[in-house]
Amino acid sequence: MRYRRLGPSGLFVSELCLGTMTFGGSDGIWGQIGQLGQDEADALVRTALDAGINFIDTANVYAGGESERILGRSLRNLGVRREDVVIATKVLGPMGAGVNSRGASRVHILDQCKASLERLQLDHIDLYQIHGFDAETPIVETLEALDTLVRHGHVRYIGLSNWAAWQVMKAVGIAEARRLAPILSLQAYYTLAGRDLEREVVPMLKDTGMGLMVWSPLAGGFLSGKYDREGKAADGRRAAFDFPPVDKDRGWTVIEAMRPIAEAKGSSVAQVALAWLLHQEAVTSVIVGAKRVDQLADNIAATEVRLEAEDLAALDRASALAPEYPGWMLERQRSYRAR
């Protein structure tokens, strides 16, 4: 397991991050994603820690707060020292029926941070992330609320998730101008089956030095190796919860390019998908979730897969984005200043 700095900070996190979306679901969307109880969660957390993972991600909205509760108990049950783990959680989604029980307003952020700390049984959150963009709340209000949490010691670092590049840059500018707590990271969807992030977000991350946490690196199981163009595993998780969106025809082409690479390296298709992400300069940590210990162990083994230049080139050809404006014009005009 290798460790990387999280954005422009001195905090080091493991290149794989344990995701806990499968903890505690009972019905609805969370029941479809995972229904793991305490013992099963303890086993996954233990497996992750034993492999050198020091980074764990959750969210208040996962299973209505139950994911945070289970994770907090796991840390206690396993006797984990607080300084040995970096705990990340998120805020935005509905946590009640009230009109103010959601969003990125000051009231919701401060209330939910307190509630997350209670559920996690912690005195501080290492990375507190805004789970999405709230168009109803001024960005400055959100950032000042996060700054308050940092100054009070409830939160150590702040991050964003699922924001557009222009929204992130606006927030970065406000934080710098008002000397608020800096934004260290963005959590976003990025896979071989969905490289949209490369159009605007990846260049923005490289320019600012922000870290990237990747969620759903296997495209909701699509890149697990269980699916193929002929309909194999059509009754898998995606049959009930087809998310995130994937261009299936393009996705099949990507999987077909991955299989011979996986076979040549004695690895799984899923491991190749994860390894590709770990080879991307913009990526800080890849979030991996699982329902079973053997699934998590298979994902962890991706850290040992080394892709050669020809492997990366083959995967790039199969998955590259189609040229799109203004990208193709920016690339053309860049030649004017080439050295």
What would the 3-class secondary structure string for the chain be? CCEEECCCCCCEEECEEEECCCECCCCHHHHHHCCECHHHHHHHHHHHHHCCCCEEECCCCHHHHHHHHHHHHHHHHCCCCHHHCEEEEEECCCCCCCCCCCCCCHHHHHHHHHHHHHHHCCCCEEEEEECCCCCCCCHHHHHHHHHHHHHCCCEEEEEEECCCHHHHHHHHHHHHHHCCCCEEEEEEECECCECHHHCCHHHHHHHHCCEEEEECCCCCCCCCCCCCCCCCCCCCHHHHCCCCCCCHHHHHHHHHHHHHHHHHHCCCHHHHHHHHHHCCCCCCEEEECCCCHHHHHHHHHHHHCCCCHHHHHHHHHHHCCCCCCCHHHHHHHHHHHCC
62 is catalytic: yes
Handedness of CA 59, 73, 18, 32 (dihedral sign): negative
Q: Encoding tokens for residue 292? A: 């079973």
Q: How far apart are CA 241 and CA 71, in angstroms?
A: 24
CA distances from 29 to 18, 102, 126, 161 (A): 20, 18, 27, 20
User: Of the listed 3, 62, 189, 336, which one is catalytic?
Assistant: 62
Q: How far apart are CA 40 and CA 38, in angstroms?
A: 6
Active-site positions read 62
